[in-house]
Chains A and B, each alone.
Chain A
Amino acid sequence: MTHTTAHETPRDAAVTPEAAEPLLSLVGVGKSYGNVAALRNVSLDVHAGSVTCVLGDNGAGKSTLIKIIAGLHRHDDGRYLLDGEETVLRSPREALDRGIATVYQDLAVVPLMPVWRNFFLGSEPHTGRGPLRRLDVATMRRTTREALARMGIDLPDVDRPIGTLSGGQRQCVAIARAVHFGARILVLDEPTAALGVKQSGVVLKYVAAARDQGLGVVLITHNPHHAHLVGDRFVLLKRGTMAGSHRKGDITLDALTHEMAGGGELEQLGHELARTTAPTRPPAVS
C-alpha cells in the first residue's frame, strides 16, 4: 500500500492530459437487449498497474459491462479501445488471447479436480514425443506452486481438490492463474461478495499484488469499503447509466459510500423505516 500512496500524487497529476495510454478504454459504451437499454453511455479507463472499480447496486448494469469487456457480448454504442485501437471482440477466447482475463463470480473451476489440474485446464503443457507425449506433470505442479507463491499464496498441497479450498483461496488461485497466463487486464466480478471480512481482506491483498505486477485490474463490486481500499478510479453505475466517475484523491470513502448507497434515497428509506418501527418496538421488547 505504501507503494501506491508514494506514487499517487505524481501519477494522478500526470494522468489528466496524456498520461500513459490506457490499456483499455471504453468511451460512451451502450448495450441494449431488444428494447431494453441495459447500459447507456458508460466510459472508463483501465491503466497498467492500477485498479479501476466499477460500483453499482444489483441491476445497475455491472454484469452487462463485464460481459462487454470479456468479449461475451458486443457493445451497440460507443467505442471499445484496446491499446488505443478500436476493437470488436468476437469471443471470450479472443479476449483471452488479447490479454483480458475474467474471473467470474461462480469461478471457472472444476471442484473435484486437484488445484494443479485446474490451474492448467485448457492450456496444459506437454513433454515427450509421439506415443509418449504426455502432460508435463512435474512442471505443472511446480509451476502452480510457484505461481501461487509469487502472488503470496501459501498452499502447501496443490494435489488437493480445488473444491476443498475456501472461497477466498479459490478466488486467489483463479487470480494467480490469470496472472500466470499473461493477462494484462484482469476483470474480477464481485470477488469479495460471498466472503467474510478476513477472507475479503486476503482477496484484496491479491488484487493489489496483481496490480503491483503491472496488470490493469477492473474490480466489480457493490462494496465501497473494499473498492476504496484498492481502487485508483471509481466508476459508479446506476440503472444502466454512469452516475459518477472519480479518482481516488477526489473522493472520500464516506462520499463514495453515500453515493453508492443511493444518497438521498437511503435517507428517505431511513425515515420510512424509523416511522414504522418506532411505535411497535416498546411492546415487543417488554
Chain B
Amino acid sequence: MSDTRTSGAQPPPTADRDAPGGQPGRAGELARRLITRPELGALVGAVAVFVFFALSAESFLRPGSLSTVLYASSTIGIVAVAVALLMIGGEFDLSAGVLVTSSALVSSMFSYQMTANVWVGVGVSLLVTLAVGLFNGWLLTRTGLPSFIITLGTFLMLTGLNLGLTKLVTGTVSTKSIADMDGFPEARAVFASQLDLGAFTLRVTVLWWLALVAVATWILLRTRAGNWIFAVGGNKDAARAVGVPVRGTKIGLYLGVAFCAWVLGQHLLFSYDVVQSGEGVGNELIYIAAAVIGGCLLTGGYGSAAGAAIGALIFGIVSKGIVYAEWDPNWFKFFLGAMLLLAALLNAWIRKRAEATR
C-alpha cells in the first residue's frame, strides 16, 4: 500500500500493486488495463496521422508548422474538453459552436456600444454565456427532453440571434473594431498573445487548452463531482438512488461547456479585434467528433478529457497537414469523417474486448 503513485493525470489503473502476492495473469491484466484506456485508440490514430504527414509533407516537421498545428488543435480542444465531460455525463450540446461566436459578439458589442473598458464586455459576455449554458441545463433537467432536441433549439436560436442582433446594432454582419479601446492590450495578452521561442511560436490558447485538460482530468478522476459525472452518464437512475444530485451535475456540465465557449470566444475577438456574426456553425459537430475520437461513448458514462484533447490534436494535424502536403484542402472533411468512423469502430471493438476479458 505504499502509495507512491499520486499522479492526478493518470487514472487509477496500471498494475495491481495492491494485490497481495501478485496475480498469476499479471501481464495479461496489464495489457487489458492498457487496452481499456479510453484514449488508446485516439493515441494510435494521432501517431499514425502524424507519421503520415511527416512523411508526405517535408515542411510539416518545421517548428513553425508544428506551432500552427498546435494552435489549430487548441482552438478545437478548448471546447472539446468540456464537450467530452458533458458527453461522459450522457448529454450533447449542439449549441457550443455558435455559442463561441455569441460570446465574442456580446463582449465586443457591449464594450463598443457602452464605450466601456473591454474587460467590462468580457465580464458581461461571461455572464451571458453562462446563462445560455444554465438555460440548456435547466431546460434539460426540468423537461426531461433529449438534450439533442433542446440544444438543437438553442443552436438555431443563437444562430439567428447572432446575425439578427449584430445587424440591428452595427448595421452590418460583423462588429466594429475594438482594437483602440481601453483594456484591449491586456485582454489580448490574456486571450490571444503569443510567445516566440526561436522558430516555434507558442500561442496562449495552447496554455489555456492544456490547463483546461488538466483541470478537467482532475475533476473527472479525483473529485466527487467526477464520480458523479461518470455515474449520471452511466446509469442515471442508479446514481439518483444512491443520492447523487443528477440535476446539479448535468447543469454544471453545461456551465462548463459555456465557460470554455467563452474562453474561445474571447480569443477569437482579441486576436482579430472584429467578429463575423455568422461564424461557428458546424463547429459543434467537430467538438463532438473530437470527443468521440478520443474515446467518449455516445451513450455516456465512459471517456476521458485527455482523449478529447488527443481527438482535437488529430483534427489539428489533419487540417494543417493537408495544407503542408499541398493537397486540395477540400479533402479535409472527408479525412475527418473516415477518421471518426474508424475511431468509433475501434472504440466499440476495444470495449467489447475489455468486457469479454474476465
- What residues make up the interface of A, taking CB atoms closer than 8 Å to B? 92-93, 96, 104, 107-114, 117, 120-124, 126, 133-135, 137-138, 141-142, 145, 156-157, 159, 161, 163-164
Contact: A92 with B241, CB < 8 Å?
yes
Q: A107, A112, A120: which contacts B301 (Cβ < 8 A)?
A: A112
Chain B residue contacts of A135, Cβ below 8 A: 222-224, 226-227
By beta carbon, the residue of chain B nearest A127 is B222
Contact: A161 with B355, CB < 8 Å?
yes
Chain A residue contacts of B297, Cβ below 8 A: 112
Inter-chain pairs besides A121-B231, A121-B238, A164-B355, 17 sampled, C-beta below 8 Å: A107-B238, A108-B238, A109-B238, A112-B301, A113-B227, A113-B301, A121-B244, A123-B243, A124-B224, A134-B218, A135-B227, A141-B12, A156-B16, A157-B29, A159-B16, A161-B354, A164-B358
Q: Shortest distance in angstroms between B30's beta carbon and chain A's nearest beta carbon?
A: 12
Distance between Cα atoms of A113 and B222 in the complex (Å): 14
- Please, could you name 30 A-B residue pairs with CB atoms under 8 Å apart, sorted by A? A92-B241, A93-B243, A107-B238, A108-B237, A108-B241, A109-B235, A110-B231, A110-B234, A110-B238, A110-B301, A111-B301, A112-B230, A112-B297, A113-B227, A113-B230, A113-B234, A113-B301, A117-B230, A121-B244, A122-B243, A124-B227, A134-B218, A134-B223, A135-B226, A137-B12, A156-B16, A156-B23, A157-B23, A161-B355, A164-B358
Contact: B19 with A163, CB < 8 Å?
no
- A108-B241, A113-B234 given; A121·B227 CB < 8 A: yes
Chain B residue contacts of A145, Cβ below 8 A: 18
Chain A residue contacts of B302, Cβ below 8 A: 112
Task: Say yes or no: is B239 at the interface (Cβ < 8 Å to chain A).
Answer: yes
CB interface residues, B 199-231, toward A, < 8 Å: 218, 222-224, 226-227, 230-231
Distance between Cα atoms of A96 and B226 in the complex (Å): 23
By beta carbon, the residue of chain A nearest B231 is A110
Chain B residue contacts of A163, Cβ below 8 A: 355
Task: Say yes or no: is B58 at the interface (Cβ < 8 Å to chain A).
Answer: no
By beta carbon, the residue of chain A nearest B19 is A156
Chain B residue contacts of A93, Cβ below 8 A: 243
Chain B residue contacts of A111, Cβ below 8 A: 234-235, 301
Q: B13, B19, B227, B358: which contacts A117 (Cβ < 8 A)?
A: B227
- A107-B238, A121-B244, A159-B12 given; A113·B18 CB < 8 A: no
- A138-B3, A156-B23 given; A96·B243 CB < 8 A: yes
Chain A residue contacts of B241, Cβ below 8 A: 92, 104, 108
Contact: A121 with B18, CB < 8 Å?
no
Task: Say yes or no: is B197 at the interface (Cβ < 8 Å to chain A).
Answer: no
Chain A residue contacts of B239, Cβ below 8 A: 110, 121-122
Contact: B242 with A121, CB < 8 Å?
yes
Interface centre among A110, A111, A161 (most CB of B within 10 A): A110
- A141-B18, A157-B19 given; A122·B235 CB < 8 A: no
Task: Say yes or no: is B195 at the interface (Cβ < 8 Å to chain A).
Answer: no
B: interface residue count bin:
20 to 34
Q: Shortest distance in angstroms between A42's beta carbon and chain B's nearest beta carbon?
A: 24
Chain B residue contacts of A156, Cβ below 8 A: 16, 19, 23
Q: Which 8 pairs of residues, A with B, have the shortest CB-CB distance?
A: A122-B242, A110-B234, A122-B243, A108-B238, A108-B241, A134-B222, A110-B235, A124-B224
Q: Shortest distance in angstroms between B298's beta carbon and chain A's nearest beta carbon?
A: 13
Distance between Cα atoms of A159 and B32 in the complex (Å): 12
Task: Say yes or no: is B1 at the interface (Cβ < 8 Å to chain A).
Answer: yes
Chain B residue contacts of A122, Cβ below 8 A: 239, 242-244
Interface centre among A113, A135, A157 (most CB of B within 10 A): A113
Distance between Cα atoms of A14 and B222 in the complex (Å): 52
By beta carbon, the residue of chain A nearest B222 is A134
By beta carbon, the residue of chain A nearest B299 is A112
Interface centre among A112, A113, A137, A138 (most CB of B within 10 A): A112
Distance between Cα atoms of A93 and B239 in the complex (Å): 12
Chain A residue contacts of B358, Cβ below 8 A: 164
CB interface residues, B 307-358, toward A, < 8 Å: 354-355, 358
CB interface residues, B 220-276, toward A, < 8 Å: 222-224, 226-227, 230-231, 234-235, 237-239, 241-244
Chain B residue contacts of A123, Cβ below 8 A: 242-243
Distance between Cα atoms of A108 and B235 in the complex (Å): 8
Distance between Cα atoms of A148 and B192 in the complex (Å): 53
Distance between Cα atoms of A120 and B218 in the complex (Å): 18
Chain A residue contacts of B13, Cβ below 8 A: 159
Q: Shortest distance in angstroms between A103's beta carbon and chain B's nearest beta carbon?
A: 10
Q: Shortest distance in angstroms between A67's beta carbon and chain B's nearest beta carbon?
A: 13
- A110-B238, A138-B1 given; A157·B16 CB < 8 A: yes
Chain A residue contacts of B231, Cβ below 8 A: 110, 113, 121
By beta carbon, the residue of chain B nearest A125 is B224
Contact: B1 with A142, CB < 8 Å?
yes
By beta carbon, the residue of chain A nearest B237 is A108
Chain A residue contacts of B218, Cβ below 8 A: 134
Distance between Cα atoms of A126 and B234 in the complex (Å): 22
Chain A residue contacts of B33, Cβ below 8 A: 159
Q: Shortest distance in angstroms between B226's beta carbon and chain A's nearest beta carbon?
A: 8
Distance between Cα atoms of A161 and B33 in the complex (Å): 11
Chain B residue contacts of A161, Cβ below 8 A: 354-355
By beta carbon, the residue of chain B nearest A97 is B243
By beta carbon, the residue of chain A nearest B358 is A164
Contact: A137 with B222, CB < 8 Å?
yes
